Structure 1
Amino acid sequence: MSSADASTTVRDRRAGPEAGSALRILGAAALLGGLTVGLFSRLGMHLLIRLNADADGVTSDDGFEMGRFTVGGSLNLLLVGVGLGLVSGVLYLLLQPLCFGPDWFRTLSLAVGAGTVAATQVVHADGVDFRLLGPLALAVGIFVALPMLQVALLDLWARRIRRGRGTAEPRLGGALAWVLRGLLVVWFVLAVASLVGDVHTLAAAAG
């Protein structure tokens, strides 16, 4: 067997476990998405409604009726969470090779980045949710913390999956990796600026 054939055989043998790990990670991401959006966000919203009785029954920016917990609405939210979890799993598989440093730093950077960017998709100064639900710091904190928690748990779970299947965490090196990391930092800074701007506008409207 030539060296080229041997290299191809090794790659083929690695492809199976790596594909299996990726599928398991996507499954974990879907489960965590359903849990985070379907359960934890419900609990967070329940707490905020308890603190803001005047928001009970108002239609949220996402089309849900605040304070109304129905089976249909809960299932719908669960399915949304599973779908968002799958999206987060795909993004995780794409971005994780760019991470560097010790395990805790990789988990922290992924979680903080994801939480901030996700919060910009939820917190809007022109909606009704965060104008009615207070205190503002608690409402924003909940919807920043939830995606952070989801991604942190996914990273820990993915690491365990890969160890169990004997597959290494992929790494992207070289100049391209640093260019992509730089673009992600710019994206993160823009997300922070957007979130801070919306929170400032909401705080000014409330005050």
Structure 2
Amino acid sequence: MRRSPGALVPREAQVTVPGRPVGSPSYRAELLRTLRVVLVAGLLSGVAIGVLLRVAMLLLRLASPGSSGLVSDDGFEIGRVTPFGIYNLLAFGILLGCVGAAAYVAVAPFLVGPPPLRRLTVGITAMLLGGTAVIHDDGVDFTALDTGVAVELFLAVPLLSGLLVSSAVDLVDRCLDRWPRWLPVLTLVHPLMVVALGVVALVVAVLLPVRRALLAPVLASSGLTWTVRGIFALVPLAAAFGLALDLRAVLG
């Protein structure tokens, strides 16, 4: 049976490792492919995330009469749509997409279940992390605007973003060679993206040798595999606890 790119076979189970070429690739080959997967998937999902953010801002304005002109907690002026504002929002979405894609590449080998369940796991985790990061009782979004709608939107957007990012990584990893090689350059749509994505690339380059050295031995041991899964599970659990406190403070 032909193995797909990034496929490992620990014991009887097949695990997909996004970004890993077929066979025994060199560090350079695996790094370049992993970065291409992260950047292309981040670009595709990031544009969609930027649109989601724009739609969320529109819905929040419609649900909060008199909110036009207020500056949101993210620094965007509510009710004002300009080319520069859309440009910044899309750039922000692409940055979130690339960071999310890199995170998904790191945890994907340890996710449980079929692809739809794995993507849902990522979406819920993104919702918990995003919710606890942006929902707080002293922000404009939750005091001057419709609180209930704001909470719903700031939970829905990261949930959908997580689903988009994980789906994009899986899609791009399966057919990376079909995408133009210059496509990752489009992620540098904003001057600050050069620095931000440079940091992402540096983190991937530093952590990739760890994956190359330790992933196969860890996946070969059920005990080690479930230990790593347990450590990863602490992240959404801690975020859920923090989000519960934030929601209690905001909603009363």
Using structure 2 for the length normalisation, give the TM-score: 0.66
Question: Are the counterparts in 1 of residues 141 and 150 from structure 2 also a CA contact under 8 Å?
Answer: no
Deviations 1:68-103 (Å, cap 9, x if unpaired)?
112212211211111121111111111111112222
Q: Where does the alignment leave 5 or more consecutive residues of structure 2 unmatched?
A: 1-21, 178-214
Question: Are the counterparts in 2 of residues 34 and 80 from structure 1 also a CA contact under 8 Å?
Answer: no
Question: In the alignment, which residue of structure 2 is the partner of 1:3?
Answer: none
Cα 1:162–1:79 shift into 2, 3 Å: closer
Question: In the alignment, which residue of structure 2 is the partner of 1:195?
Answer: 243
Question: In the alignment, which residue of structure 2 is the partner of 1:150?
Answer: 161
Cα 1:76–1:157 shift into 2, 3 Å: closer
Cα 1:17–1:183 shift into 2, 3 Å: closer
Task: Describe the SS at the equivalent of 2:54.
Answer: helix
Which structure has greater helix proportion?
1
Using structure 1 for the length normalisation, give the TM-score: 0.79
Cα 1:77–1:153 shift into 2, 3 Å: closer
Task: Describe the SS at the equivalent of 1:132.
Answer: coil
Cα 1:57–1:106 shift into 2, 3 Å: same
Q: 1:78 aligns with which of 82, 86, 90?
A: 90
Q: Where does the alignment leave 5 or more consecutive residues of structure 1 unmatched?
A: 1-8
Q: CA deviation at 1:22?
A: 5.1
Question: Are the counterparts in 2 of residues 49 and 67 from structure 1 also a CA contact under 8 Å?
Answer: yes
Question: In the alignment, which residue of structure 2 is the partner of 1:11?
Answer: 24
Deviations 1:144-196 (Å, cap 9, x if unpaired)?
22222222233233333333369xxx886233332222122222122112112
Distance across 2 between alignment mates of 1:87 and 1:98: 18
Question: Are the counterparts in 2 of residues 60 and 129 from structure 1 also a CA contact under 8 Å?
Answer: yes
Deviations 1:14-45 (Å, cap 9, x if unpaired)?
98478536513431223312321x21111111
Q: 2:81 aligns with which of 44, 50, 69?
A: 69
Say what the alpha-carbon RMSD is for the aligned residues: 2.7
Letter in 2 for 1:177: T
Distance across 2 between alignment mates of 1:45 and 1:140: 12
Question: In the alignment, which residue of structure 2 is the partner of 1:58?
Answer: 70
Question: In the alignment, which residue of structure 2 is the partner of 1:118?
Answer: 130
Q: 2:40 aligns with which of 27, 33, 48?
A: 27
* Number of aligned residue pairs: 191
